[in-house]
């Protein structure tokens, strides 16, 4: 089969012919139809410090945001069928550590990630454990989750996990970072009943997409401050909930400065370096800072599936974050579009590659 490979510990990727993956007794083999490019994939392409820290084995196939069709199931698999249209949870857990046994699989201490520590979905076929397969609804709803939307379930899960970590009904929400996940977070916060939603970035096209996703006010932080947004909205106190998506030191610090006392911040963005923050403000304002990684397994999947299958407006908003669907052979162009941040979500089409 064709696969986009990280062939060694250096920059770049290579479209190569490799053997198709096998399918063990507890596994599911999937024909990949769509696969999204995310920030992790950009790190792997560049082979920067983050990639070297994450990826412990080369060569391998990247890609963890995907949608496809089941072509083979293992002999012990009873709940996934050949022909099912599916997405995949990218975190393969051990099942035996304390967190796994307590039902907190997203906190597994021995997690292995699809497309990072094991072969992923930038290929014609990918094999994952059956417990990691998410089967989309059948019958009257089978056409609701199409290939592009199905490929968004992984990043959407990050957005849903982050956004719904704290209660939102009637709350004022601040989001820092208006990329695809920030836009998804704005849409989910609006769907969940937030009062005012403010989102920050430095790219006007992303801020415009965030406005369409449901943000009340957008702030270009290269030119203005978050406090101006509070005045514009007539807010008498700070924000109740903060969603830090950008991974930028200045974004988190300004968020802290504009939180209400007792405010709660969910942290998804991964910083590229260590930095300091005003811990006196965190303590004296009694703020909660909660790290977020991936999705709650599998409650987040249930929540986002329920929201998307019952809300056409939310489906349309989430799908609008996809601005480019390119043939898999044009992967280099897709990576460049994603790297520059000049568009929304970039998805590779693997359905016609040969």
Annotated catalytic residues are 40, 43
Report d(CA 72, CA 30) in Å as an integer: 7
Contact by Cβ (8 Å): 207, 279: no
Q: How far is CA 11 from CA 8, 41, 61, in A?
A: 8, 12, 14
The answer to whether 205 touches 182, Cβ cutoff 8 Å, is no
Reference 132, options 5, 28, 227, 285; nearest CA is 28
The alpha-helical segments, DSSP class H, found in the chain are 39-46, 49-54, 98-101, 147-151, 153-163, 180-192, 204-213, 226-233, 249-257, 279-284, 299-310, 312-319, 331-340
205 to 179, 220, 342, 344: CA distances (angstroms) = 10, 11, 8, 9
Contact 324, 342 (CB under 8 A): no
Contact between 225 and 198 (Cβ < 8 Å):
no
List alpha helices for 285-347, DSSP H: 299-310, 312-319, 331-340
Q: What does the angle CA 88 – CA 44 – CA 105 come to, to the nearest 5 degrees?
A: 35
**What is the 3-state composition of the chain as percent helix, strand, coil, each rounded to the nearest 5?**
35, 25, 40
Tell me how far apart the alpha carbons of residues 100 and 91 are, in angstroms, rounded to a whole number. Answer: 12
Burial degree of 56 (CB within 10 A; 0-12, 13-18, 19+): exposed
């Amino acid at each position: 089969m064709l696969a986009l490979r990280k062939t060694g510990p250096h920059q770049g990727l290579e479209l190569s012919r490799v053997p198709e993956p096998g399918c063990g007794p507890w596994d599911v083999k999937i024909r990949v139809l769509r696969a999204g490019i995310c920030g992790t994939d950009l790190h792997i392409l560049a082979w920067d410090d983050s990639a070297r820290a994450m990826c412990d084995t080369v060569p391998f196939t990247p890609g963890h945001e995907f949608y496809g069709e089941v072509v083979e199931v293992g002999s012990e698999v009873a709940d996934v069928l050949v022909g099912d249209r599916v997405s995949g949870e990218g975190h393969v857990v051990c099942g035996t550590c304390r967190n796994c046994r307590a039902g907190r699989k997203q906190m597994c201490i021995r997690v292995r990630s699809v497309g990072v520590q094991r072969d992923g979905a930038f290929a014609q076929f990918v094999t994952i454990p059956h417990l990691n397969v998410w089967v989309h609804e059948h019958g009257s709803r089978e056409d609701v989750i199409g290939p592009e939307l199905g490929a968004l379930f992984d990043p959407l899960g990050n957005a849903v996990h982050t956004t719904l970590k704290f209660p939102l009904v009637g709350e004022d929400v601040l989001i820092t970072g208006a990329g695809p996940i920030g836009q998804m977070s704005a849409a989910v916060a609006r769907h969940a009943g937030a009062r005012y939603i403010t989102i920050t970035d430095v790219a006007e096209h992303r801020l415009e997409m965030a406005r369409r996703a449901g943000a009340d006010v957008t702030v270009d932080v290269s030119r203005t401050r978050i406090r101006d947004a509070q005045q514009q909205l007539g807010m008498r106190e700070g924000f109740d909930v903060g969603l830090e998506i950008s991974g930028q030191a200045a974004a988190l610090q300004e968020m802290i400065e504009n939180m209400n006392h007792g405010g709660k911040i969910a942290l998804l963005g991964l910083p590229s370096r260590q930095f300091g923050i005003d811990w006196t403000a965190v303590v004296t304002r009694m703020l909660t800072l909660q790290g977020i990684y991936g999705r709650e397994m599998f409650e987040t999947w249930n929540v986002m599936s329920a929201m998307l299958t019952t809300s056409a407006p939310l489906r349309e908003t989430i799908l609008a974050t996809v601005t480019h669907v390119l043939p898999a052979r044009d992967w280099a162009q897709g990576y460049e579009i994603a790297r520059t941040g000049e568009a929304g979500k970039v998805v590779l089409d693997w359905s016609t590659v040969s």
